[in-house]
């Protein structure tokens, strides 16, 4: 109830306003899409301020912080591509990938080009190229220039531009650092299912570390698994609420970190989801629905009681749990230095299928590794699960393939991926590893 009042009051007291600063167009409190949709053209979610000059379209969140840029120069690579700045202060370039195979490969119409080494499926480094680089560097000048034309504009426009200019790149970097301090370091990897909300999640740690410390893993930390206390979770919620402030209304999803939240006490998991919904007002977001994303492991999944999934099914919003299976072949698990038995991976896969059938708002997805050097038996045993065990095609319970080599994108590898995709009876996509 409180949450829907928040949304209603917000929308009434922040009515959209359109104005001009000389030749430049200003739209305050612009209403974007209110639900995430997979479309092949720019369709941005949330309420934001839009400022458009002859050189760029710039979007600012409700804290006056830059969130998106689109160049209007002739040499901008594609009119339907844009730059996004995350709450962790990373720039991501959204590329159409020439509309060839991006959706089939990732499940999304846009390919996120990231500023760090990751499993980049199609290659390319647009962030270091012109005119993209210049726009990232020069937007503050552009805003300054626009504000110089604002004599005669409304008071609200002048005040908004002042606040935007106060959010310099240094201030934005500081906000990203503060978020990382609150959650005890950057999120090294988001679950692949966060693609459903364009990776726009609020990170909230309920535990740290993981169980296995696998040799192959590039995202782990040195910590052994440990659950956080309710007080530690509440502390994060209070600080995140302060940090996101007016823009909180544009978030409807949380990521329960770090690498194995499913290994926590079931009461802690459910309690954290309920507290986050209440304290962050997720159900009252401008964006429809709410979502919780978390990782689990083979061990935490196999030891979890069915009751936990039934309880999760009753909580608000949809819940996505991503499990790192990696391989059902013992020699591959040994190569990966993943201390698991293949029989346990197979049992975890079966349990995933039964949870996905039983629960309507819980979806469990799984990851397998892929690399041309892995034994044939890895692919044979994977197909025994994702094709033979599944029976008929299903649209729930995605399988994500995670490349072992980050810096070697290859279209030849994608060819192997398509072969597996054709045979799988579950949706199969490549895992795009994103940090936050």
- Smaller CB distance to ligand SF4: residue 207 or 297? 297
Q: Does 68 bind ligand SF4 (CB under 6 A)?
A: no
* Position among 6, 213, 275, 387 found at the interface with ligand SF4 (CB under 6 A): 213
CA distance 402 to 158: 48
Token representation of residue 395: 């649209």
Q: Does 212 bind ligand SF4 (CB under 6 A)?
A: yes
Segment near ligand SF4 (CB under 6 A), from 212-220, 302-310, 343-351, 372-380? 212-220
Q: Does 220 bind ligand SF4 (CB under 6 A)?
A: yes
Instruction: From 92, 28, 25, 60, select the one nearest 168 (Cα to Cα).
Output: 60
Residue written as token pair 């209440």 = 278
Q: Does 192 bind ligand SF4 (CB under 6 A)?
A: no
Segment near ligand SF4 (CB under 6 A), from 11-19, 92-100, 116-124, 216-224? 216-224
CA distance 163 to 62: 10
Q: Does 223 bind ligand SF4 (CB under 6 A)?
A: no
Q: Does 324 bind ligand SF4 (CB under 6 A)?
A: yes
CA angle 426, 303, 325 (to 5 degrees): 35
Token representation of residue 400: 């994500």
Segment near ligand SF4 (CB under 6 A), from 115-123, 144-152, 162-170, 209-217? 209-217
Give the binding-site size for ligand SF4 (rule: CB under 6 A): 11
* Position among 28, 51, 214, 287 found at the interface with ligand SF4 (CB under 6 A): 214
- Smaller CB distance to ligand SF4: residue 217 or 426? 217
DSSP per residue over 227-263, as a string? EPPHHHHHHHHHHHHHHHGGGGGG--EEEEESS-GGG
- Minimum distance, C-beta of residue 331 to ligand SF4, in the bound complex (Å): 18
3-state secondary structure of 68: strand
- Smaller CB distance to ligand SF4: residue 222 or 392? 222
Segment near ligand SF4 (CB under 6 A), from 120-128, 207-215, 248-256, 426-434? 207-215
- Smaller CB distance to ligand SF4: residue 47 or 189? 189
Residue written as token pair 């199969």 = 428
Walk across the sheet containing 56-60 and list its strands: 17-21, 24-31, 47-52, 56-60, 66-71, 82-85, 91-95, 111-113
Token representation of residue 43: 């369709």
* Position among 55, 64, 68, 259 found at the interface with ligand SF4 (CB under 6 A): 259
Q: Does 400 bind ligand SF4 (CB under 6 A)?
A: no
DSSP 389: I
Could you tell me if 210 and 225 are in contact, meaning their C-beta atoms sit under 8 angstroms apart? yes
The percent of the chain in helix, strand and coil, each rounded to the nearest 5, is: 40, 20, 40
- Smaller CB distance to ligand SF4: residue 3 or 260? 260
CA distance 414 to 199: 23
- Of residues 281 through 300, those in contact with ligand SF4 by CB under 6 A are 297
- Smaller CB distance to ligand SF4: residue 135 or 398? 398
Segment near ligand SF4 (CB under 6 A), from 17-25, 50-58, 204-212, 418-426? 204-212
CA distance 200 to 250: 9
CA distance 320 to 330: 27
Segment near ligand SF4 (CB under 6 A), from 158-166, 211-219, 368-376, 386-394? 211-219
- Smaller CB distance to ligand SF4: residue 191 or 397? 191
- Minimum distance, C-beta of residue 120 to ligand SF4, in the bound complex (Å): 19
- Minimum distance, C-beta of residue 184 to ligand SF4, in the bound complex (Å): 16
DSSP 289: S
Segment near ligand SF4 (CB under 6 A), from 57-65, 119-127, 217-225, 379-387? 217-225
Segment near ligand SF4 (CB under 6 A), from 67-75, 136-144, 214-222, 267-275? 214-222
Alpha-carbon separation of residue 25 from 72, 76, 117, 149 (angstroms): 14, 20, 37, 11
DSSP per residue over 320-345, as a string? EEEEEEE-S-HHHHHHTT----HHHH
Q: Which helix (H) or strand (E) holds 202?
A: strand 202-205
Q: Does 257 bind ligand SF4 (CB under 6 A)?
A: no
- Smaller CB distance to ligand SF4: residue 259 or 421? 259
3-state secondary structure of 49: strand
Q: Does 217 bind ligand SF4 (CB under 6 A)?
A: yes
Residue numbers at the binding site for ligand SF4 (CB under 6 A)? 210-214, 217, 219-220, 259, 297, 324
């Amino acid at each position: 109830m409180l949450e829907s009042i928040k949304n209603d009051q917000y929308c009434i007291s922040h009515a959209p306003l359109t104005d001009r600063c000389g030749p430049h167009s200003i739209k305050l409190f612009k209403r974007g899409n209110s639900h995430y949709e997979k479309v092949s053209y720019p369709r941005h979610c949330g309420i934001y301020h839009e400022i458009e000059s002859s050189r760029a379209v710039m979007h600012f969140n409700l804290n006056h912080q830059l969130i998106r840029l689109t160049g209007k120069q002739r040499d901008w690579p594609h009119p339907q591509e844009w730059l996004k700045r995350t709450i962790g202060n990373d720039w991501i370039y959204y590329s159409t990938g020439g509309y060839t195979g991006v959706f089939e490969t990732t499940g999304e119409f846009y390919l996120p080009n990231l500023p760090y080494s990751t499993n980049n499926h199609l290659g390319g480094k647009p962030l270091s190229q012109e005119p993209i680089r210049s726009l990232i560097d020069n937007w503050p000048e552009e805003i300054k220039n626009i504000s110089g034309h604002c004599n005669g504009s409304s008071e609200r426009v002048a005040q908004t531009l002042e606040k935007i200019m106060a959010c310099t790149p240094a201030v934005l970097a500081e906000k990203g650092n503060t978020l990382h301090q609150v959650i005890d370091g950057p999120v090294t990897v988001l679950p692949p299912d966060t693609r459903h909300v364009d990776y726009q999640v609020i990170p909230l740690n309920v535990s740290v570390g993981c169980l296995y410390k696998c040799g192959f893993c590039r995202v782990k930390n040195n910590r052994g698994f440990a659950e956080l206390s309710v007080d530690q979770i509440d502390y994060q919620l209070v600080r995140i609420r302060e940090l996101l402030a007016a823009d909180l209304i544009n978030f409807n999803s949380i990521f329960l970190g770090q690498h194995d939240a499913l290994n926590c006490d079931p009461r802690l998991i459910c309690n954290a989801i309920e507290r986050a919904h209440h304290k962050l007002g997720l159900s009252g977001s401008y964006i429809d629905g709410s979502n919780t994303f978390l990782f689990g492991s083979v061990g935490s999944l196999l030891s979890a009681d069915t009751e936990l999934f039934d309880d999760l099914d009753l909580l608000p919003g949809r819940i996505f749990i991503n499990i790192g299976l990696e391989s059902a072949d013992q020699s591959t698990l040994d190569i990966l230095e993943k201390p698991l038995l293949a029989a346990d991976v197979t049992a975890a896969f079966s349990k995933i299928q039964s949870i996905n059938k039983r629960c309507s708002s819980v979806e469990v997805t799984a990851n397998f590794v892929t690399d041309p050097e892995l034994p044939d038996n890895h692919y044979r045993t994977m197909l025994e699960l994702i094709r033979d065990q599944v029976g008929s095609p299903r649209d729930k319970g995605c399988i994500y393939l995670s490349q072992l080599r980050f810096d070697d994108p290859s279209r030849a590898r994608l060819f192997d991926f398509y072969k597996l995709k054709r045979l799988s009876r579950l949706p199969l996509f490549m895992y795009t590893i994103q940090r936050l």
